Amino acid sequence: MIYFDNGATTFPKPRSVLNAVNRALRLYGANPGRGGHSMSLKASEIMYECRGNAAKLFDVESPDKIIFTYNCTTALNYVIKGILKKGDHAVISSLEHNAVVRPLEKLKEQGVDYSVAEYSYNDDETIDNFRNAIRPNTKLVICTHASNVFGVRLPVERIAALCKIHGVLFCVDAAQSAGVVPVSLKESGIDFLCTAGHKGLYGPMGTGILAINSEYLPDDIIQGGTGSYSLELKQPKILPDRYESGTPNLPGIAGLNEGIKFVLNRTESAIERHENQLAKLLYKGLNDTQGVELYVDMLKHSKCLPVVSFNVENLDSEETAQILDKKFGISVRAGLHCAPLAHKFFKTEERGTVRAVLSVFSDYRQVDYFISSVNKICKYKRVKKGCN
Amino acid sequence: MIYFDNGATTFPKPRSVLNAVNRALRLYGANPGRGGHSMSLKASEIMYECRGNAAKLFDVESPDKIIFTYNCTTALNYVIKGILKKGDHAVISSLEHNAVVRPLEKLKEQGVDYSVAEYSYNDDETIDNFRNAIRPNTKLVICTHASNVFGVRLPVERIAALCKIHGVLFCVDAAQSAGVVPVSLKESGIDFLCTAGHKGLYGPMGTGILAINSEYLPDDIIQGGTGSYSLELKQPKILPDRYESGTPNLPGIAGLNEGIKFVLNRTESAIERHENQLAKLLYKGLNDTQGVELYVDMLKHSKCLPVVSFNVENLDSEETAQILDKKFGISVRAGLHCAPLAHKFFKTEERGTVRAVLSVFSDYRQVDYFISSVNKICKYKRVKKGCN
């Protein structure tokens, strides 16, 4: 079995991640921050260690500014809903995921508006588009670090600088890039970074992170018990408690902690190098295959993530994925990938795309097999077409 | 080590739960509902199976009306924020957790008001208090099934009937009771039930459930990718997608599935019988110990959950818990338990309480050891006091 659906969630996970989840469940499965006994303290310790490692990875001032959430979507909702109020305006890119678009569409009901700045292969043009989209009432710019469908990257450091000039808050959706593309919140001035724990950070599903690098704090969207200031009927304002109500996903966070340590040890640049080499081979192989449509020239746009979206001529993307699964034992995702704007931009909103995403565990052999499998599908299609 | 902090999270978990989490991580750790390949379909299957088992446990019409959340707090926020709008009024009991009170306090900023109906040992009085608190603009009644600090239960079936008469929606916080006290949503007419997956349902932390038994659906609070209707910029209205944005906690839900099956197999009434027998022994033993203060007469109020809150004379609750942990290897929670209203009601808001909560894995030997340990603390305190 070959798993190239790492854009949805990475698989396999490092052994240390599985062991950590297992240990958390078996040895210190107590509620962190809600008891003074040894097991609960051990649980709190692991959470704090994970905050520290995430703060290190994203270069955030303090572990307390790492907020654990259910997933990246929740983190994005916290930022978007916590900042934008009636009369406010936001700017997003034309590559955004529904995790950004749908909360904004919802906020329209409350008098919040947003504009879409077109992505361009030319960074200067992208920056111009963002600049032109900013209005006097723009309060927040949100954009993905890299498209989850096409892998193209946005110049987030430059957008951060633009936002600083205009006094606008800036949030990056790093769901697809975290663990692959290094980012420093302190250096770049990105105010908020939201990411999934279960993709490039190799943690289990059920983990997300909101990293804060801003003095301005979003309003809290979810309130409840925090294990702190229990007599107060109001949500406490201290971090991370303000944004972490109720029992956290301790086993998941214990796993995420090991996932982040795995990334820190290997380094993101080494991971990026490995994955990009393979992605380029994959791209080249598919590009040389008659009957394959590709959307982004990965050899020309070398800063792409290891995400290869394609289609086989005359085949629905879902159909191609089905054949890859059933006949060749290859897992990929097909369809629309929850990113309608990106599909419109690349004109794939009708068919969707087949998306192959690599991980640190992918290897040359797998890429070869993948290319030859797609090759066989294309050949079979051509033969079949010839017979008709 | 004796773990009596099952009110915060149950420990240990059944072996089947640990195995299911492990299997989900190792064998089918793909994103459910976001791919058509075998691993993703297997993941979706497990989620659907868990929905079915939860629907069976709570007697809900359809598995689609089981919503998976991060925790019970999130589920409660979904109901409270999704229903109450400016000008609306809610009624809660005087035993509520901060997971209910804090979201309501937040909504005050938006012109929502709430009243507190006093709990009484006499169910008729409790019902009268709820009836008197309902106003013409009351839209929602929320109350805990049982106090997380004192174990006393509210007559939720009767409150549900009252709500039906007044045309008011009714939500039960079953964080502490689910898996111990049987409840039928269809029969009782409870509209919404929120619960944690990691307490009496024996799932891992990071799991919560919102069970819906109402035609009226709360507005959605969090929006994002659902893997469905991907071209739509608006959140889809179908269930469960509407309330489940972003990647779910698949390994957690796989574990929860086994936890619920464990409860269904043992039956809640057998679990309740076992835990209550032990809790009564524990209560009796502590009641016979000189220097122990107890708050609810468990022998008189036989419908209590297996939750025993107490204090040792002249000792802070945290101090008692510390001694139990360090000297006797016993894990309990002390302090305020995130339920300020309940502590005010029982006049323990200054000291908090030491809380011992049993699980299906607790046994007589543990209860005996617990009682003798508290006994030793009391004796030591008395001797020490005598020396002074």
Please, which residues 131-190 of chain A have a Cβ atom closer than 8 Å to chain B? none
Preceding peptide of B248 cis, ω within 30°: no
In sign, the C-alpha dihedral spanning A335, A338, A344, A346 is negative
Given a cut of 80, is residue B385 above it in pLDDT? Answer: no
* Sign for the pseudo-dihedral over CA of B198, B204, B208, B212: negative
In a 3-state reduction of DSSP, which class is residue B172?
A: strand
Over the stretch B346-371, which tens digit does the pLDDT of each residue have? 999 888 999 999 999 999 999 999 99
> How are beta strands B353-357 and B307-312 bridged, if at all?
antiparallel
Q: Which residue has the tokens 């190799």?
A: A202
Q: What is the Cα B269 distance to its own chain's centre?
A: 17
H/E stretch holding B142 reads strand B138-144
Task: Determine the average pLDDT of the residues in A54-69.
Answer: 98
Q: What count of Cα atoms within 13 Å lies in the side-chain half-sphere of residue A44?
A: 15
What's the residue count for chain A? 388
Buried b (16+ CB within 10 A) or exposed e, A56-89: ebbbbeebebbbbbbbbbbbbbbbbbbbbeeebb
Enter the DSSP assignment of B199.
S
Cα separation, B162 vs A186, in Å, equals 56
* DSSP code, position B303: T
Separation between Cα atoms, residue A232 and residue A236, nearest integer Å: 8
Q: What is the pLDDT of residue B313?
A: 93
What is the C-alpha R_g of chain A? Answer: 22
CA distance A323 to chain B (A): 9
Query: Counting one residue from A and one from B, how many pairs have CB atoms under 8 Å apart?
Result: 334
Q: How confident is the model at residue A386 (pLDDT cuts 50, 70, 90)?
A: low
CB-based contacts of A207, cutoff 8 Å, min separation 6: A68, A69, A70, A71, A196, A197, A198, A249, A252, A253, A255, A256, B206
Compute the distance between CA of residue B148 and CA of residue A349 in angstroms, rounded to an integer: 50
Contacts of B69 in chain A (CB under 8 A): 70
How many CB atoms are closer than 10 A to CB A280? 17
CA B386, chain centre distance (Å): 42
Of A5, A36, A205, the CB nearest to B247: A205
Nearest residue to B10 (alpha-carbon basis) of A332, A247, A296, A127? A247
| A219: closest chain B residue by CA | B106
Measured at the alpha carbon of residue A72, what is the angle toward residues A71 and A78, in degrees to the nearest 5? 100
Cα dihedral A85, A86, A87, A92 sign? positive
- Quick check: A388 pLDDT over 80? no
3-state DSSP of B227-250: CCCCCCCCCCCCCCHHHCCCCCCH
pLDDT in the model for residue B388: 44
pLDDT in tens, A177-220: 999 999 999 999 999 999 999 999 999 999 999 999 999 999 99
**Shortest CA distance from A196: residue in chain B:** B247
- pLDDT surpasses 50 at A342: yes
Strand arrangement of the beta sheet that strand B138-144 belongs to:
B66-69, B208-212, B192-196, B169-173, B138-144, B89-93, B113-117
Is residue B180 within 8 A of residue B271, CB to CB? The reply is yes
pLDDT of residue B34: 74
Mean pLDDT confidence for A249-263: 98
Q: Report the residue from B103, B252, B331 with minimal CB separation from A249.
A: B252
Quote the tokens at residue A188: 């770049």
pLDDT band (50, 70, 90) for residue A12: very high
Each residue's pLDDT tens digit, B258-275: 999 999 999 999 999 999
The answer to whether the CB atoms of A251 and B206 lie below 8 A apart is: yes
Bigger pLDDT: A143 vs A339: A143
Collapsed DSSP state (helix, strand, coil) of residue B5: strand
Q: In a 10 Å sphere around its CB, with 0-12 CB exposed, 13-18 middle and 19+ buried, how is residue B364 labelled?
A: exposed
Domains and CATH numbers, chain A: 15-266 (3.40.640.10), 267-387 (3.90.1150.10)
Are B222 and A73 an interchain contact pair (Cβ–Cβ within 8 Å)?
yes
Q: Does A246 touch chain B (CB under 8 A)?
A: yes
The percent of residues in chain B predicted with pLDDT above 90, rounded, is 89
* CB distance A182 to A131 below 8 Å: no
CA dihedral sign of residues B373, B375, B381, B386? negative
Beta bridge partners of B170: B141
What pLDDT digit, counting tens, does each position of B33-74 carry?
777 899 999 999 999 999 999 999 999 999 999 999 999 999
Give the tokens for residue A381: 């299609």
Q: What is the pTM of this model?
A: 0.97
Residue A372 · residue A282 · CB < 8 Å: no
B183 closest CA partner among B56, B10, B361, B13: B56
Res B106: pLDDT: 98
Strand partners, A211: A66, A193
A16-60 pLDDT, tens digit each: 999 999 999 999 889 997 778 999 999 999 999 999 999 999 999
Neighbour tally for B60: CB within 10 Å: 23
A41 interface with B at CB cutoff 8 Å: no
Residue B317, helix vs strand vs coil: helix
How far apart, in Å, do the first and last CA atoms of chain B sit?
33
Asked if the C-beta of A196 comes within 8 angstroms of chain B's C-beta atoms, the answer is yes
B70, B222, B251 ranked by CB distance to A204: nearest = B251
Q: Pick the residue from chain A with its C-alpha nearest to B97.
A: A225
Query: What are the φ and ψ backbone dihedral angles of B245, each rounded to 5 degrees?
Result: -95, 140
Q: pLDDT per residue over B62-113, tens digit each?
A: 999 999 999 999 999 999 999 999 999 999 999 999 999 999 999 999 999 9
Cβ separation B97–A231 shorter than 8 A: no
| Separation of alpha carbons B282 and A281, rounded Å | 67
Give the distance, in angstroms, between the CA of residue A187 and the centroid of all CA atoms in the same chain: 21
Residue A331 main-chain phi, psi, to 5 deg: -95, 115
Contact A5, A372 (CB under 8 A): no
